[in-house]
Chain A
Amino acid sequence: MTDLAHATRHIPDRLDSPARAALYSWPTLLLIVGIVLFIVNSLASPYFLSPWSLSDATFNFTEKAIIALAMALLIIAGEIDLSVASIIALASTAMGVALQFGVGVPGLVVIGILTGLLCGIFNGFLVTGLGLPSIVVTIGTMSFFRGISYIVLGDQAFKGYPPGFDYFGQGYVWWVVSFEFALFLLFALLYYVLLHHTNFGRQVFTIGNNPVAARFSGVRVERVKFILFCLTGLMSGIAAVLLTSRLASTRPSIAVGWELEVVTMVVLGGVSILGGSGTIQGVVIAAFIMGLVTFGLGLLNVPGIVMSIFIGALLICVIALPIIWSRTRRRATR
């Protein structure tokens, strides 16, 4: 290390080719899990492989997955939003109220999405403006947002959404491809580009890894985080439109417990809960895996609650196994 020879040395850009690196990555592991599940499912149930049942399978995860895309960015940046499901409830309630005033389909959609965005702004202000920890803030807003729904609705429900509104949650774009699913694929692509191919995405990773160094490097940390909260609110608003349209009704208990499912999806997708790393590919594959498990077991008449055991175990295993594996390997090489 002490030779001071000023020979210009060449440092290669990479040692592994990008393709090789991708091969050993988390999404690849997930993809294998996904394919195995797919095969097991198609062997276990003769109905599984029909295009229409596969299409049906997408409905049970697309809305959650749409939120998971934005949540992934938020968790990578070292924050979390536990109020997403409550934002759905509030946005859906806002649409229901607007419905009572005779607002048309385009108006309903705008109101749903805007409500989501406003909720995101509120969370973002509390976290970045006042410097509060996001986990408690969003536990608070989680009760608060859904609480407003309960105040408005009580044990009632809004029904009677106008014809045409059902398209968002029930319509098909082409053949078996539902509008929801197409929208999810579009957003997945957008978020992939945003996270992995823009300056903004790079800043998100930097903040998650080291917020102090990011700030010293001229990254406007608070602003980026604020935008992420807004995006998460916005996506929840969009999910609210889809879900309300699919169910054709609004109850205050809509989407209860989704926040934890969304977080599970994100963590399963390889995003570190401590922030700083993760991929959109991983989250998308994790969404499919969760969809496949739910749907496949559903075809075998396994109730939803049992599937949740599987999801929970999967979450712990995919995180614990690599740790155990690397430890035993380290011990072996010692």
Chain B
Amino acid sequence: MTLPQRKPESMPASSTPRITLSGITKTFPGVRALHKVALELYPGQVTALIGENGAGKSTLVKTMTGIYQPDEGEIRIDGEPVTLSSPHAAFKLGITAIHQETVLFDELSVAENIYLGHAPKTRFKTVDWGLMREKSGKLLKEIGAGHIEPDTRLKDLSIANKHLVAVARALSIDADVVIMDEPTAALSYKEIQDLFELMELLKKNGKAILFISHKFDEIYRIADRYTVFRDGEMVGSGLIADTNQDTIVRMMVGRSVEHVFPKQETTLGETVLTVSGYCHPTEFADINFSLRKGEILGFYGLVGAGRSELMQALIGITKPSKGAVRIGDDIAVIRSPAAAIENGIVYVPEERGKQGVVVDMPIVQNIALPSLRRTSKNGFLRLAEEFALAREYATRLDLRAASLSQNAGTLSGGNQQKVVIAKWLATKPRVIILDEPTKGIDIGSKAAVHAFMSELAAQGLAVIMVSSELPEVMGMSDRIIVMREGRIVTTIEKNDGFDAETLVRAAAGIGEKAA
């Protein structure tokens, strides 16, 4: 492997960018994911890409790795305009990404994962295992991962070690541009420190690195530059040394929080749900909270803080190891979603396409699904009742559809979300849990979902909202619980005033010594 020559030790803004993106726009049906964004990555430097969830970071990564084609804009590598028409094209041009959930092959060996698609060949055009193993071993040693045997199956490695393999793969294809999409999300403190040393090494080798992270201590530890995205636009960039955390947090959450959120004032009623001493062997621990009628309780945290896992345990998808759930005054034993529905707890999942809607079935059947017992008689379907129910909730949620017999998959993301919410409201629940309710949906539908949520609370429903979007969680909640690494770190009442920086700090663990 030939590494580009080392850059001199001091390399400020003087060097020319390796890759330049300008005017990149990408629109999905109903959503503008990126709007004329620009990004420059310099050799031998780490640029941090900062932004809330939904700011367009992952769309940008997919554009840079050839998975999406931008509608407009230009990408230049070393000044030459290029087209990234496929993942393979991006790979050939030396761009590689290490994803959040590293996309590699579990059943194949480490060496194969590093060299799949560009394995060294023998004279007979067959894969040269000996050379492949040797080169893998050398690469791994180079990045300080000599403890990983090239022959091990990938699935036998820890997440941290899988990352090291991904890094080795990036080096093996001689990538000039390395994108690291939240590489530290699932790593322990020690492993993160090792990863940073590795990034230093990559820097020394002249790689241009894009580093995506929510954790400010990490950004300050490793990055040379920053670029901030908000709502699909670039709102700022520069040298890390010239700025401070507060400025960046302000850029991130920039817009005024009040204007979009139609939160009505409600008087809170009696306690409906009490969760005490709730634990799971691996996902969360020691969860205590209660929820009152008419309340919207926000759960804020970084991706992977254990919020969705907690909610899924509450509705009986996963089994908790300890703890009790009370509905009103009665202990509720919820071992399946069916039992949760009977107890009046429903869950609008984050993964809408996978867990929420059944895309190939009509809207009416989606909405009626959990209420079948009510719309049917003695187990026999009554279509008129189903349509009546679907019509009622579709109208209440202002669903935009050509007909109720249309397949749910043909709707836009926002309208699919309305179908999922409608489906659950139709069961007349007491507690509704909304997990990232406006993720990936257009602004119009977002507002409608928010308005409706507020209306529900006003009508006496108890609402739990898991959200990673600061304006949303601050605009809608009566109370915010912040979770980090499977535990509740703080609870903030609305009366005490929500403050974006406090929330971000609590979620990211800034201001404490790293755990």
Contact = CB atoms under 8 A, between A and B. Distances in A.
B284 interface: no
B239 interface: no
A213 B412 contact: no
A299 interface: no
A202 B442 contact: no
B395 A220 contact: no
A217 B316 CA distance: 11
Interface string A272-284: 0000110000000
A106 interface: no
A310 interface: no
A205 interface: yes
Given A213-B357, A216-B356, A11 B401 contact: yes
Nearest to B427: A218
Interface in B369-427: 369-370, 372-373, 376, 379-381, 387, 391, 394-395, 398-406, 412, 414, 423
Given A4-B448, A9-B398, A198-B381, A218 B338 contact: yes
A8 interface: yes
A213 B361 CA distance: 12
A209 B354 contact: no
Interface residues of B, number: 50
B506 interface: no
Interface in B338-371: 338, 340-341, 347, 349, 354-361, 364-365, 369-370
Contacts of B315: 216
A102 to B, nearest CB: 41
Nearest to B447: A4
A216 B337 contact: yes
A216 B357 CA distance: 10
Given A15-B402, A15-B405, A217-B369, A1 B444 contact: yes
A198 B380 contact: yes
A163 interface: no
Given A4-B447, A14-B405, A209-B358, A220 B336 contact: yes
Given A217-B370, A276-B360, A210 B398 contact: no
Contacts of A276: 360
Given A13-B403, A216-B347, A200 B395 contact: no
Nearest to B369: A217
A2 interface: yes
Contacts of A155: none
Contacts of A9: 395, 398, 400
A200 B379 contact: yes
Contact of A12 (B349, B404, B448): B404
Contacts of A212: 354-355
B379 A216 contact: no
B443 interface: yes
Interface in A198-240: 198-203, 205-206, 209-210, 212-220
A3 B358 CA distance: 27
Nearest to B29: A1
A209 B361 contact: yes
B355 A213 contact: yes
B146 interface: no
B328 interface: no
B361 A215 contact: no
A11 B391 contact: yes
Contacts of B414: 1
Which of A12, A199, A201, A214 counts the most B-chain CB atoms under 10 A from its CB? Answer: A199
B57 to A, nearest CB: 24
B369 A202 contact: yes
B317 interface: yes
A128 B30 CA distance: 40
B448 A13 contact: no
Contacts of A10: 395
Contact of A209 (B355, B359, B394, B444): B359
A202 B372 contact: yes
B332 to A, nearest CB: 15
A198 B359 CA distance: 21
Contacts of B30: 1
B438 to A, nearest CB: 14
A327 interface: no
A214 B358 contact: yes
Contacts of B357: 210, 213
B376 A198 contact: yes
A209 B356 CA distance: 12
Nearest to A16: B405
A13 B355 contact: no
A139 B443 CA distance: 52
Nearest to A8: B395
A312 B387 CA distance: 41
A331 interface: no
A334 interface: no
A286 to B, nearest CB: 22
Contacts of B349: 216
Contacts of A330: none
Nearest to A205: B361
B405 A199 contact: no
Nearest to A215: B337
Contacts of B448: 4
B399 A11 contact: yes
Contact of A14 (B359, B403, B423): B403
Contacts of A215: 317, 337
Nearest to B423: A217
B336 A218 contact: yes
Nearest to B375: A199
Interface string B431-456: 00000000000111101100000000
Nearest to A3: B444
5 contacts: A11-B395, A206-B365, A209-B359, A214-B358, A217-B337
Interface of A: 1-4, 6, 8-16, 193, 196-203, 205-206, 209-210, 212-220, 276-277
Q: A-B pairs with the 10 shortest C-beta distances?
A: A218-B338, A2-B444, A14-B405, A210-B358, A218-B341, A199-B372, A218-B337, A15-B403, A209-B358, A216-B355
Given A13-B364, A203-B372, 7 more contacts: A12-B404, A198-B379, A199-B379, A199-B380, A213-B356, A216-B317, A218-B341
